[in-house]
Chains A and B, each alone.
Chain A
């Protein structure tokens, strides 16, 4: 296990199209997070999972966004009817955390998927 993998690395799509990103976390990590980052800004929290349960979804996430983590392993983030404002880097991270949320260490981030909506 070499780290968190994200696919694809880059995605260019036309406005109105649907896109789906995949994240494969470190296998023993129970927490998986999705963040969005625009140029010059820090990552903004989108949603996170503990095993297969989605614990929280940010108010930033409109109804066009949906995330899943079936079987508590990989996760997908889908954006429907993309808009130009969705253009950003989408980052996935995983970590080991106890049931009360105490982190065993830091997040391990993937390299991200850069989405460009034209």
Chain B
């Protein structure tokens, strides 16, 4: 079963615009991660945010976590064509001992 659900399922934007995607989950978590996957490739880790953190930044990426709403958001600022990929959130439930469950992903297309 998949713990997280990303929204929207697909997103199409132009270069330079910001892209925001959301992740909702069902059970209490220890940590939440975001990954990127280019077509047919493996997943690349972007950011890990712990349950006691509310916001993290990494370059053009900004992740927020609201544990009261069981949701997280990933913002990509000033998007580039190279940001075209699927983005997944992954959570580890408090009783899971570091095992992460993935959502179905948001497919982002950035057009030049």
Contact = CB atoms under 8 A, between A and B. Distances in A.
Interface of A: 4, 31, 33, 35, 40-45, 48, 55-56, 91, 93, 95, 97, 100-103, 105-112
A45 B101 contact: yes
25 contacts: A33-B100, A40-B104, A42-B104, A43-B43, A43-B88, A45-B101, A56-B99, A91-B42, A100-B98, A101-B92, A101-B96, A102-B30, A103-B48, A103-B98, A106-B35, A106-B47, A107-B33, A107-B35, A107-B43, A107-B90, A109-B35, A109-B43, A109-B45, A112-B41, A112-B42
Nearest to A96: B98
Greatest chain B CB density within 10 A among A45, A97, A108, A111 is at A45
Contacts of B46: 106
A95 B33 CA distance: 13
B96 to A, nearest CB: 7
Interface of B: 2, 4, 30-31, 33, 35, 41-48, 88, 90, 92, 96-105
Nearest to B103: A42
